[in-house]
Homo-oligomer: A and B are copies of this chain.
Amino acid sequence: MRALLTGATGFVGQNLKTYLQDRGWQLGTIGRKDSSKDMDEKMQSFKPDVVIHLATLFKAEHQTEDIPDLIQSNITFGTQVLESMVRHNILNFINTGTLWQYYEGQKDVPSCLYAATKTAFESILRFYSSANQMKVINLMLADTYGPKDPRKKLLPKLLSIAGTEKKLQLSEGQQVIAWTFIGDVVEAFEVAAQRLILDQEAKRFVSYTVTSTEELSLRESVRLCEQVLGKKIWVDFGTKPYRKREVMGPERLDPQLPGWTAKVSLAQGIEACRHG
């Protein structure tokens, strides 16, 4: 089976690429810098069974000058991909969303402008799926992690300071996180791709949650890290304020992706990161 990936150089993208290749998939990639013509050529020559759209620009809190890039990366680029797909009758699309789109459990209230651009893109997706028989699965992700994560996220920081004298300044740490291991995440994308290709999806546009069911507060997560690594981690909780509109827990407003469940516990995942 053939998949065309956007965002293939990101953390999820690189892992998905390796995973799918190992499972015998043929892969192509397109990037934000490809012209419409480049995209058209790839659609025509590669003829993917499914397009997996991972490309995103993430800003937890935006600055005014981020607006054009946020919209270009998270709305315009995806629209151009969809347009190129329908011109070549390629009609299976997997989109990547975030639980941050559901602030305080409200389906239409994004927690930040980044999340708003994700919800905005869903309107574009609904147009293409309705007007062009396109089938869309929208995977709603929460916190992903795994070995060699280049993103400046909490877990890599904890791992890097474990056993050292360095102290990390954090918020109160009561936010609850559904840590989802990258190995589980990439499986979800394959499961979703197969659902589309094997025509197992009744709806034209459907959103599914892709998160671990294990939930730990940020404080508990730090303690677990210490246990697994057998090293002290110095953290000053409460020395930083929560973000404006901090997301305090995973809002699973969509059903879990059928045929998939997260298998890796945070303890196992930390162990994997340590050796990765």
The stretch among A120-128, A167-175, A188-196, A208-216 that forms the contact with chain B is A120-128
**Judging by beta carbons under 8 Å apart, are A245 and B71 in contact?**
no
Given contacts A64-B36, A64-B87, A79-B71, contact A108 B123 (CB under 8 A): yes
Smallest beta-carbon distance A93→chain B, Å: 15
Among B67, B79, B123, B131, point to the contact of A119 (Cβ < 8 A): B123
Residues of B with C-beta under 8 A to A244: 131
Interface size of A by CB at 8 A reads 36
Q: Which of A73-119 contact B (CB under 8 A)?
A: 75-76, 79-80, 83-84, 87, 103, 106, 108-113, 115-117, 119
Any B CB within 8 A of the CB of A230: no
The answer to whether B76 and A131 have CB atoms under 8 Å apart is: no
Query: A276 in the interface, Cβ–Cβ < 8 Å?
Result: no
Interface of A is mostly: helix
A84 contacts across to B, CB distance below 8 A: 64
Are B116 and A123 in contact (CB-based, < 8 A)?
yes
Cα A76 to Cα B68 in complex, Å, equals 6
Is A164's beta carbon under 8 Å from chain B?
no
Does A227 sit at the interface, judged by CB under 8 A? no
* Copies assembled: 2
User: Would you call A14 an interface residue if the criterion is a C-beta within 8 Å of the partner chain's C-beta atoms?
Assistant: no
Interface string of A1-45 (1 = CB under 8 A from B): 000000000000000000000000000000000001000000000
> Interface residues, chain A, CB within 8 Å of chain B?
36, 64-65, 67-68, 71, 75-76, 79-80, 83-84, 87, 103, 106, 108-113, 115-117, 119-124, 126-127, 130-131, 244-245
Whether B80 and A76, one on each chain, are in contact in the complex, defined by CB atoms closer than 8 angstroms, is no
Min distance, Cβ A107 to any Cβ of chain B, angstroms: 10
CA distance A57 to B134 in the complex (A): 25
CA distance A258 to B109 in the complex (A): 25
In the assembly, what is the distance between CA of A205 and CA of B201, in Å?
A: 34
A112: chain B residues at CB < 8 Å are 127, 131
